[in-house]
Structure 1
């Protein structure tokens, strides 16, 4: 049996869901019980709701109530499954080199993620996100070393950003840092400080800065299946 990681892009939708469920159960064994509880809760509420809302009586009403119960129960399962799968994917990534960059890959519409715009020989790194908040510099690595790296990158970006804001985020579990599991949501909550047209202008200003620096590669590999699925959820699909 091969241990080669599966690439979600080569799988059918059904296979992606199956592999995501397997991965989630490995990391979070309680997930199936949460999903069962969600089915019973949503389904039970749905049955009561349809019993009171639907007019009439008899077999037809019972059939509609059962169908509505199953649909709402499945909706509850998918909501809980999505949340637990996302947490499991983050937990698998946590501590890996380039984990923050892979997590930021969940940002899509209206966001531009550029990996490793700054780095040290010890593999501390700073990634850049350009989006509604302006420029967001996301650092990961040793707390002491990455602080100096982040200060340096902030100064470089501030010189070309002009009036546009430059934010700093350090990924980690210490005080003042943002856990990997909350990184995407934290970046999204920085607010809307620039217009879509201004994002293009910011990127043009950054080209000159990027042309002067080398790019550092980070370990590649298939994005965890659940992470790939969560991208669609964040886009509102």
Structure 2
């Protein structure tokens, strides 16, 4: 049975799919959401109860509204974090997982998956954004380092005035875990103005044309990760 593309899902279907995947990774997600709703409701209701005028029907209405708002808000925050953690855990270790995570970056970042690839399914992805050019490798660390070095040289020949950063995704020493990849990329600083990013992308087209389009391994990124992007980007 083929899985429905997230772009064809309604928001309700995407939420249900995210909940299903999150429950597989964390069977207690229902309890977490209930507790967070109750906690948010207590705080929200208490704050609204203290608003003037105190006492009377109006205060009761405000308290109920505040409780509902506080409960729903906290439950959504908890669900967002749990769902994101579940999505990362689901794809961690799969070829192309880093590309799925990078697709959740905020606007202003341009991700190009698999600009380099070998027969062992080691990959190098490219992100262009405020830090400049970020090359992200995933796979065997030794082989990935060679791929990154080769890609760095090629990129520096095309964009000599733009900083090029390198990151290897993994759980070993000197590597960045998948769940922390986006935060690490965004903390690389601001070396490029937004107006210059278009020029960088245009210059990189020449390099991409020479290298050709590298095919991504089939099925590396679950569609659930893609469907969550609009809800979880930037969290």
What range is the shorter-chain TM-score in?
over 0.9
> What displacement does 1:45 show?
1.0
Compute the TM-score of the two structures, normalised by the length of structure 2.
Answer: 0.93
Q: 1:145 aligns with which of 118, 127, 143?
A: 143
Q: Which runs of 5 or more structure 2 residues have no equivalent in the other structure?
A: none
Q: Which runs of 5 or more structure 1 residues have no equivalent in the other structure?
A: none
Equivalence for 1:130: 128
Q: 2:54 aligns with which of 42, 53, 56?
A: 56
Instruction: Provide closer, same or farther for how the CA distance between residues 72 and 56 of structure 1 changes in structure 2, counting only shifts above 3 A.
Output: same
- Which of structure 1's runs of 4+ aligned residues deviate more than 6 A? none
Q: State how far apart, in whole Å, the 2-side matches of 1:118 and 1:51 are.
A: 59
1:110 aligns with 2:108: yes
1:47 aligns with 2:45: yes
1:228 aligns with 2:227: yes
Measured on the aligned residues, the alpha-carbon RMSD in Å equals 1.8
Q: State how far apart, in whole Å, the 1-side matches of 2:119 and 2:225 are.
A: 31
Q: State how far apart, in whole Å, the 2-side matches of 1:96 and 1:77 are.
A: 30
Work out whether residues 123 and 144 of structure 2, in 8 Å CA contact, stay in contact via their aligned partners in 1.
yes
Compute the TM-score of the two structures, normalised by the length of structure 1.
Answer: 0.92
> What displacement does 1:108 show?
4.5
Work out whether residues 136 and 166 of structure 1, in 8 Å CA contact, stay in contact via their aligned partners in 2.
yes
Instruction: Provide closer, same or farther for how the CA distance between residues 7 and 54 of structure 1 changes in structure 2, counting only shifts above 3 A.
Output: farther
> What displacement does 1:107 show?
2.2
Instruction: Provide closer, same or farther for how the CA distance between residues 155 and 119 of structure 1 changes in structure 2, counting only shifts above 3 A.
Output: same
